Structure 1
Amino acid sequence: MKTKSLYKREDFLPASRQDIEARGWDEPDIIIVTGDAYVDHPAFGAAVIGRWLESFGFKVAVLSQPGWKSAEDFKAIGSPRLFWAVTSGSIDSRLNSYTSFGHKRKNDVYSPAGKIGRRPEKPVLTYCARAREACKDAAIVIGGLEASLRRLTHYDYVEDKIKKSILTDSKADILVHGMGELAVCEIAEKLSAGCTIDQLAGIPGTAYNLRKNSPAPEKFFELPSCRQILSDNKLFMQAHLEYQKRCFPEGEAVVQDQGAGRIAVMPPSRPLSEAEMDRLYSLPFTRETHPDCRKEGEVPALESVKFSITTHRGCFGGCSFCSIYFHQGKEISSRSEGNIIKELEKLSKRKDFKGTIQDIGGPTANMYAMKCRKQKICSRQSCIYPNICKHLDCSCEKLISLMKSVLRWKKAGRGRNAFVASGVRYDLAVKSDEYMRILCKEFVGGHLKVAPEHFSNNTLKYMGKPRFGLFEKFENKFNEESRKAGKEQYLVPYFISSHPGCTNEDAEKLTEHLVSKNIMPRQVQDFTPSPLSLSTAMFVSGIDKNCNKIFTAKGSSAKKLQFALLRYYEPKHFGIISKHLSRKRKFRLLEQIRKKADYQKKRKR
């Protein structure tokens, strides 16, 4: 439903030539080109980078979802004085456009009214070509999640191919990886001071082409080349593990030959300080879609986050299938409690605020203000698996203080509800009875997302997740605290099918558990090999991190079987399940599934 905007177009960053001229600019310093519709909200990367650069005095414009079959839209907005900043958008374009089975998605939640066809197949590559066509002299900087995770030789699950670094393929001048505020600001300042592209070499949080005038870093580690990996896919795992050892701010640069030249990847930028986080989230975001985009309808992705609060970034969970370690980093950067409450106060004064804060959290909601006591990031992938590191301060004290402040805000009549909708790490949550009590009594809106991911401890080992018994402990505690609060509340468990290392027997164990507990999970994600995750290295190489050979469900039929076993209650899956379980002579389980499927069939009638 279309709502009336509270803001005028001049409250947004300029998004057209007319907007630029209305500000009295001859040209912007930086033009951000994004594959998403322009949404001026702190949950959208293009807006965050744009507002951050603006706060340092740079003139920033946004070119969202431009036409790509010619360079006309690029020419129409004009040339940037310093550089084009190109991003595919808030998520990897492959994941945005394709399911794990390779099917085209029917909508695009980052486009007006969810319409598809508003971006090219490979936005970063295509936009870079059009930007170069429109203005040969301006530098091109690529960044955002897709560029960040494709900084090295990587696997593309849609093409089922190992690909060169996106820096090489896009022919961009420099790549910003990770959370890019510090790196992109340093690039802007150096170019503004008259530095050449070659003089940008060595900025933390960047990757660059090695040329005569931009030599390799003083100290670096040489990864297996793209050509070597193509000839021996086990080297994909070696390259991943060697990079993981070095991918932290105090780590070492790496160099990798792409076949069309070598690239250097610098260690990540340091995490933002609390003061910098407060500054970033205090910038004048309108929290709305730009008027030009709204003409076609609202952007669906905004709906669930419009009145959400980001408390922190980063995650030290280190799940094998997740790339947050390589993008946001594992060190937690948190905002101050006072700054978060100020944002709540500001939101409560908006005319379109209906009293509900949709989410208060981050990548993992209950990691707010947790930190390493040594105050030095190491190469360990997870701080909590297979055991909690002795140096980790995982106290909930500051989080509980924040939650109590939010409750005082509510009781003062400024809001009706404030929920935790982002995921909770249950192995940390069970360590604090007070956190569980406040969470269940005050911050759960009927359902709480939690991700056990699997039942088989064999599969959980490959996922880097705790044993299932710990989830059951959390579940019992959640139910107990919900009863004490007089609330009927439910956990929404998330599961992954076809994860590398998960055999069909492991999948059957999970099905048996779900059937015995009468659990019919709706949140089942078939494994998607996202770039730069350990699980993708397993998928490509066929080995685990200890170089042991593992089973991996590959191909449509193998993946569909494991997915069907998790969605066992759906009648459409009964055929494939029946064939498999009959061959295994598991007739008792098959009969239980048949009853569930028949019941669902009757309900649909």
Structure 2
Amino acid sequence: MNQGFLPLCKQDMKDRGWDRVDFVYVSGDAYVDHPSFGHAIITRILESHGYRVGIIAQPDWRVKESVTVYGEPRLGFLVSAGNMDSMVNHFSVSKKRRRQDAYTPGGEMGKRPDYAAVVYGNLIRQTYKHTPVILGGIEASLRRLAHYDYWSDKVKRSVLLDSGADIISYGMGERSIIEIAEALDAGIDVSDLTYLDGTVVKTKSLDSVYDAVVLPSYGELVKSPRAYAESFYTQYQNTDPFTGKRLVEPYSDHLYVVQNPPPGPLSQTEMDDVYALPYMRTYHPSYEKAGGVPAIAEIKFSLISNRGCFGGCNFCALTFHQGRIIQTRSHESLLEEAELLTNEPDFKGYIHDVGGPTANFRHPSCRKQLEHGVCKEKQCLFPQPCRNLDADHRDYVELLRKLRDVPKVKKVFIRSGIRFDYLLADKDKTFLRELCEYHVSGQLKVAPEHVADEVLSKMGKPKHQVYEEFTRKFQDMNKKLHKQQFLVPYLMSSHPGSDMKAAVKLAEYCRDLGYMPEQVQDFYPTPSTISTCMYYTGLDPRTMEKVYVPKNPHEKALQRALIQYRNPDNYDLVMEALKKAGRMDLVGFGKQCLIRPRKFSSEKHPVGKQTQGKTKAGRPLQKKPARSVSRKKAGR
């Protein structure tokens, strides 16, 4: 029976009649009991297996007593930095402190430390010398082996070593956390848990480690960018649960970090069970005085229908965290949750999203994956769709139709983003029609990211002509439906491979479309992505070819300013960028020019006449909203 929220303090524990908890979950996020939050899923799963769990949310890491709220747990501590890497949470790409934390009551910044998984782990270890400490969450998952850390500009050791923890549960963790709990409950010492899929452990000897690939040592990685690139690509090729090998990273002759193979994908029944647990579906009431937890607004009336992504964007860490095999919930599970949403007192009739990392992925990309795994050397959609790709939206269309028919539901939106190349690969245009007719809120979020094919190839994205084809088909469908709807393109500057000429090309594209993005995302080198590996090493780990990397902050500012060339504050930067690119032909009075000469720059920049919702070229006018929490969740 659901007894409400799990304990958040010792008194809550006593109110349940407990004298001790089995596990203490230490989280960098505020306690939000909703399945979009990792701590909610893991604690509820443990509860469903009969374990008593207490939560310590955002402890004061400067005070040892902050992690002794419940005393010593019977089985161990679970530690997570939160739904985001703590450094991404704290810093913009320019390494400036952010002003708000969406995962903290009232959006207050500063309630978690930098490198939170390491700090929390050491804080616990200072007081409890022998109690098992298990790391989880995205920060530990993506830093599980030696990794380039953008904020310190160093190759850091596995977070397992720096945190003082005993074991990492990487990926989504539902399976491995129960196996760990059952082993500890059976009296097995945590040091003997060296064999579980989905875990990373440390060992002094490789005598009991079998069938393993030995990576370059940490010492080699620090000295040689090429060794780092080779090691990273070996890891990348072993993220599949069917083909992934055990990996060993040596640190000395008597210290090794061992990554066991990834856990298998959850079946649909298992996915349904995870989302059917008795979540309270909101933040803890103790946060009400502070104004609640802002992140809940983004997901409260959204449905997670899938996890995993075979899109293969090189700047995204999903391959390392959720994997490439799509796992889905059943229609029945999603309809039950939709009915729960309609009973919320503040439900206005709108389901904000039905999706996941990529909304229109509802089954594995090909039929062989659930038996043989994904291809090591090939991507499903890049550089073009694989001939074995099963591009089929029928299940998703059927699901959306059922959700539209739920009583009290006025509209079902799709906001988590779609892969337009996958949509085009489906010869049946039913989904495109129903998408435009029922599921766009005036704007559709898409991610072309860039227009220069040489940059797109480094991003793992399709050629620009594919996006152009999609814009035409999107426009044609809206014409047939007598609708005026716009595309919301995400554009990225300064990605590896983007030189000044490529940046100018992107600016010219914005000119031709007749709009200037309000915000532009600079490439952010986060742990465990191919793009970050390129950024650090200057090498494409897939081919070991050299890659141009814009690292200088001023050059990055130039590339960003080009995309926002109409902003008068950017004039000097745009002029400098055009000079560097040898494109002074874009300074003048013609329609193709980006800026006017200096003495005329105070005059209003000419813009071609536009029909409502369209550019002169007849393409749908594209707008860009403020960056949202959902893009952060996607790991971009």
Give the shorter-chain TM-score range. Answer: over 0.9
Match of 1:234 in 2: 226
Separation in 1, partners of 2:293, 2:135: 24
Match of 1:206 in 2: 199
Structure 2 counterparts to residues 439-588 of structure 1, below 5 A: 439-544=435-540, 545-588=542-585
- Counterpart amino acid of 2:476? E
Q: Which runs of 5+ in 2 are unaligned?
A: 608-636
Residue-by-residue CA offset, 1:285-321 (whole Å, 9 max, x unaligned):
1121112233322211111111110001000011111
SS of 2:572's partner is: helix
Displacement after TM superposition at 1:585 (Å): 4.8
SS of 1:256's partner is: strand
Task: Return closer, same or farther for 1:144/1:377 CA change in 2, 3 Å cut-off.
Answer: same
Match of 2:40 in 1: 47
Answering whether residue 220 of structure 2 is matched by residue 219 of structure 1, we say: no
Is the contact made by 1:571 and 1:601 (CA closer than 8 Å) also made in structure 2?
no
Separation in 1, partners of 2:348, 2:171: 34
- Counterpart amino acid of 1:573? N
Match of 1:6 in 2: none
Separation in 2, partners of 1:10, 1:555: 54
Separation in 2, partners of 1:231, 1:243: 19
Is the contact made by 2:95 and 2:151 (CA closer than 8 Å) also made in structure 1?
yes
Displacement after TM superposition at 1:183 (Å): 0.6
Structure 2 counterparts to residues 19-418 of structure 1, below 5 A: 19-211=12-204, 215-250=207-242, 251-259=244-252, 261-374=255-368, 375=370, 376-378=372-374, 379-380=376-377, 382-409=379-406, 413-418=407-412
SS of 1:39's partner is: coil
SS of 1:448's partner is: strand
Is the contact made by 2:79 and 2:117 (CA closer than 8 Å) also made in structure 1?
yes
Match of 1:4 in 2: none
Is the contact made by 1:501 and 1:552 (CA closer than 8 Å) also made in structure 2?
yes
Is the contact made by 1:155 and 1:161 (CA closer than 8 Å) also made in structure 2?
yes
Displacement after TM superposition at 1:590 (Å): 3.2
- Counterpart amino acid of 1:401? E
Displacement after TM superposition at 1:588 (Å): 3.9
Is the contact made by 2:382 and 2:462 (CA closer than 8 Å) also made in structure 1?
yes
The TM-score normalised by the length of structure 2 is: 0.90
Separation in 2, partners of 1:74, 1:314: 33
Separation in 2, partners of 1:294, 1:266: 42
Q: Which moved more, 1:188-197 or 1:556-565?
A: 556-565
- Counterpart amino acid of 2:234? E
- Counterpart amino acid of 2:432? M
Displacement after TM superposition at 1:381 (Å): 5.7
Displaced runs of 4 or more, over 6 A = none
SS of 1:283's partner is: coil
Displacement after TM superposition at 1:135 (Å): 2.4
Residue-by-residue CA offset, 1:250-292 (whole Å, 9 max, x unaligned):
2110000235821000111111110000011111111211122
Residue-by-residue CA offset, 1:110-157 (whole Å, 9 max, x unaligned):
111111111111211111122123322320000100100001110111
Match of 1:3 in 2: none
Displacement after TM superposition at 1:346 (Å): 1.8
Q: Which moved more, 1:369-378 or 1:585-594?
A: 585-594
Is the contact made by 2:77 and 2:132 (CA closer than 8 Å) also made in structure 1?
yes
Separation in 2, partners of 1:599, 1:78: 67
Is the contact made by 1:569 and 1:597 (CA closer than 8 Å) also made in structure 2?
no
Displacement after TM superposition at 1:23 (Å): 0.6
Displacement after TM superposition at 1:15 (Å): 0.7
Displacement after TM superposition at 1:351 (Å): 2.0
Q: Which runs of 5+ in 1 are unaligned?
A: 1-8
Separation in 1, partners of 2:568, 2:280: 46
% identical aligned pairs: 38
Is the contact made by 1:496 and 1:526 (CA closer than 8 Å) also made in structure 2?
yes
Separation in 2, partners of 1:142, 1:381: 32
Separation in 1, partners of 2:190, 2:570: 55
Residue-by-residue CA offset, 1:326-372 (whole Å, 9 max, x unaligned):
10110000001111111111211222222111111010000012443
- Counterpart amino acid of 1:577? V
SS of 1:11's partner is: coil
The TM-score normalised by the length of structure 1 is: 0.94
2:432 counterpart (417, 429, 436): 436
Separation in 1, partners of 2:395, 2:24: 39
Residue-by-residue CA offset, 1:14-41 (whole Å, 9 max, x unaligned):
1110111111111111111111111111
Separation in 1, partners of 2:17, 2:445: 48
Is the contact made by 1:35 and 1:64 (CA closer than 8 Å) also made in structure 2?
yes
Residue-by-residue CA offset, 1:37-85 (whole Å, 9 max, x unaligned):
1111111111111111111111111110011111112112322111111
**Relative to total residues, which structure has the larger helix share, 1 or 2?**
1
Q: CA RMSD in A?
A: 1.9
Q: How many residues align?
A: 590
Task: Return closer, same or farther for 1:335/1:507 CA change in 2, 3 Å cut-off.
Answer: same
Is the contact made by 2:308 and 2:357 (CA closer than 8 Å) also made in structure 1?
yes
- Counterpart amino acid of 2:265? P
Is the contact made by 1:493 and 1:523 (CA closer than 8 Å) also made in structure 2?
no
